[in-house]
Structure 1
């Protein structure tokens, strides 16, 4: 046997082992999430504590922010002491829909139906269409969001999960729910004027101009329009997409938001923008922004990975290494055809961040590690990421 043949066989054997590792890791994560019934804790759930609610925290923006950020940064989980319980975040069920649509095994239909039932129970009331928020109050430096106020990020991801479920099962009710979510985006969100179009607000109660949030809403409109033939949805989506693309920086990046101090460039929000822009282009056939997509992709590929496998949090800073950023890295890389790098990122993340129970820890900092397994942040999106990668590998081997 020639050395070349031996080398090829060794390489093939190594790839098989890697793919088996990915499939096993995805299966372990799925088992953990299903044991948890997609209920868990959140990085930002401090304000659900009944003990904290009895203090002046609820009346002070600064104290709310300190409590939320303090609990999020603490590497020990003291939530049981504070009375913070496991709950289900609607967006976790939306991401589960996308994951199960990819997994597509004998239990897919039942699992999807269970998720949709859970989403129906958690939908916000009093709006033009189906919509969802978080189950907890949360405070940022710029804004305070009340529990269950619907937000475009959750609604868009859930809507896209419903579209994925429709594609996998053919159940038209799922498409109808996704179409209903479009009515929330069209009628209930505020629109900030922009020279190139407009930017959707984060929720009906604000006028924040967050690029990833706005283009996620546009992507849902575009995908639903393609599924239903309502091309007027594309007209609205175009205005939001044009505004986001117009504010792309010369290096190909996007800041988090427009009109305030949040000018940082991070991994997963950039990934959201890129995948949403690609969704829009593919759904509508409007390729005017193909150049912007390519510039954004090149920036992402060049700035968010250390040593060819470690997902960076910021474009100019590795730490903290974050499970959600790792998951979005895998999703983005697979979407743009960089499957070899996606596999390396996934394998590194599995080795360094997956627990014996199958869940993924929160973050690795420069000097310490936060091993708390947050269900939505670290695990629900990771299930979709690994499912996508495993399915892509299966297609390559077929």
Structure 2
């Protein structure tokens, strides 16, 4: 694919973000770091107070965190995403500095993996709380571990170093031995979101499946792939007639809140499609291809505005979220070899995001935007790292 006029703009933005990361590192705030604070937990049952607290966090995102003594953290997922971006930059430029920075991030991940588990795994550095849900800080999370696995997999393909292959296998061991496989009936199962719950979430499930397919492809061991097939079947069977996937599968027996599991949102839909694309690239099947094409058609029609802004859910456009903006670049770009005009869709989202969701001078991404207001909190994992990887992947795909 030939470069277009958007490619220099994307490279310039990449270089701005690289400069910031090199000067300041990856320690920063996160949308979820404040939500487990006792004061915010206390107001959750009361809708007016809950909405007021959310509004105050949007208007005073940094001040509120300082007042509540919420400290910036180092997030493993940010390191994995930046490693992926740096590896793509190395593939595009051949500059050793990018490879070196990527390997530094992967070394950090090895040194900061969760302890006490069968394989390599990582979680978030803050508590996550919700209805009938508590994940203490550091609890291994499937999507974090799989994202790290994607980075180690790409590093192995680029360098051939066995340490990266070993990491891919160790992460696969985590999925097979530490994450729950929830029996969903009919021979299907679902990989749980973390080691401490039985939450059936489609993007998390497919993150695990895609990692096991990568491990099988790298090692030649078909056992990884066979172990993943029942979970792949679960998510393929859950696709709606219109092509959409809900966030997850709700069960009265588990006691989790129903509404979040039934929503259809932008970035998790993109996660599902990209995971299926990774699986299909390793083992092409008509069923997976059909699911991707049907799902992508829904994604384009229902989760973008005509201007190219990524809608937060099928029911609401606002607040527009920087994570969805990154996915609006990543997903179409990575599916370009399967769909018509994927890179053009990615370019449109990139232009809209740069204009509306980033500081005009520094290029630093905002957290989220309303029609009348933007929360400009710099979220290291949620915004900076995701946008950095999305831009790097876009430039790589443009060639």
TM-score in same-fold range (> 0.5):
yes
Residues 43 and 68 from structure 1, CA distance in 2 versus in 1: closer, same or farther, beyond 3 angstroms?
A: farther
1:69 to 1:208, Cα distance in 2 relative to 1, 3 A: farther
Which range moves more in the overlay, 231-240 or 300-309?
300-309
Aligned match of 1:368 in 362, 368, 373? Answer: 373
| C-alpha deviation, 1:315, in angstroms | 2.1
Matched, 1:36 2:28: no
CA–CA separation in structure 1 for the residues paired with 2:198 and 2:111: 28
Pairing 1:208-357 to 2, within 5 Å after superposition: 208-259=199-250, 260-261=258-259, 262-337=261-336, 338-355=342-359, 356-357=361-362
User: Which residue in the other structure is 2:181 paired with?
Assistant: 191
Question: Does structure 1 conserve the Cα–Cα contact (< 8 Å) formed by 2:84 and 2:102?
Answer: no
* Higher mean displacement: 305-314 or 281-290: 281-290
Deviations along 1:20-43, one digit per CA (max 9) or x if unpaired, are: 212111111122122221111111
> Which structure has the larger Rg over C-alpha atoms?
1
Q: Find the aligned partners of 1:60 and 1:127 in 2 and give their Cα distance.
A: 35
Size of the aligned set, in residue pairs, is 375
Rounded Cα–Cα distance in structure 1 between residues aligned with 2:385 and 2:324: 12
Does structure 1 conserve the Cα–Cα contact (< 8 Å) formed by 2:354 and 2:363?
Answer: no
In structure 2, do the counterparts of structure 1 residues 80 and 176 end up closer, same or farther at CA, with 3 Å as the change threshold?
same
Secondary structure of the residue aligned to 2:183 is: strand
Equivalent pair of 2:307/2:352 in contact (CA under 8 Å): no
User: Does the C-alpha gap of structure 1 residues 46 and 76 become closer, same or farther in structure 2, counting only changes over 3 Å?
Assistant: closer
Aligned partner of residue 110 in structure 1, secondary structure:
helix
Deviation at 1:281, TM superposition (A): 1.6
Q: Note the aligned Cα RMSD (angstroms).
A: 2.3
Distance in 1 (alpha carbons) for counterparts of 2:53 and 2:97: 38
Matched residue, 2:363: 358
Work out the CA distance in 2 between the residues paired with 1:201 and 1:139.
Answer: 16
- C-alpha distance in structure 2 between counterparts of 1:305 and 1:60, whole Å: 33
Q: Tell me the TM-score normalised to structure 2 length.
A: 0.88
The one-character-per-residue Cα deviations of 1:12-65 (angstroms, maximum 9, x if unpaired) are 9xx8543221211111112212222111111111268xxx57x7x7899859x9
Q: Equivalent residue for 1:164? A: 154
Match of 1:85 in 2: 71
Gaps of 5+ in 1: 1-11
Distance in 1 between residues matched to 2:10 and 2:385, nearest whole Å: 16
Whole-Å Cα distance in 2 between the matches of residues 32 and 68 of structure 1?
30
Aligned counterparts of 2:128 and 2:16: Cα–Cα separation in 1: 31
- Whole-angstrom CA distance in 2 between matches of 1:175 and 1:69: 43
The counterpart of 2:383, out of the listed 378, 382, 386, is 378
Higher mean alpha-carbon deviation, 229-238 vs 106-115, is at 106-115
Matching residue within 19, 38, 54 for 2:7: 19
The CA distance in 1 between the partners of 2:189 and 2:53, in whole Å, is 32
Contact 1:127/1:188 (CA < 8 Å) preserved in 2?
yes
What whole-Å deviation, never above 9, does each CA across 1:161-203 have from its counterpart, x for those lacking one? 1111222222221121111011110011111112351001111
Gaps of at least 5 residues in structure 2 are 251-257, 337-341
Report if the CA contact (8 A) 1:47-1:136 is conserved. Answer: no
1:295-325 CA distance string (max 9 Å, x none) = 1111111112112421111123211111110
State yes or no: 1:94 paired with 2:80.
yes
Q: State how far apart, in whole Å, the 1-side matches of 2:119 and 2:135 are.
A: 20
> What is the SS of the residue equivalent to 1:133?
coil
Alpha-carbon distance in 2 for matches of 1:204, 1:382: 28
Deviation at 1:148, TM superposition (A): 0.2
SS state of the match for residue 204, structure 1?
coil
Contact 2:210 2:276 (8 Å CA) reproduced: yes
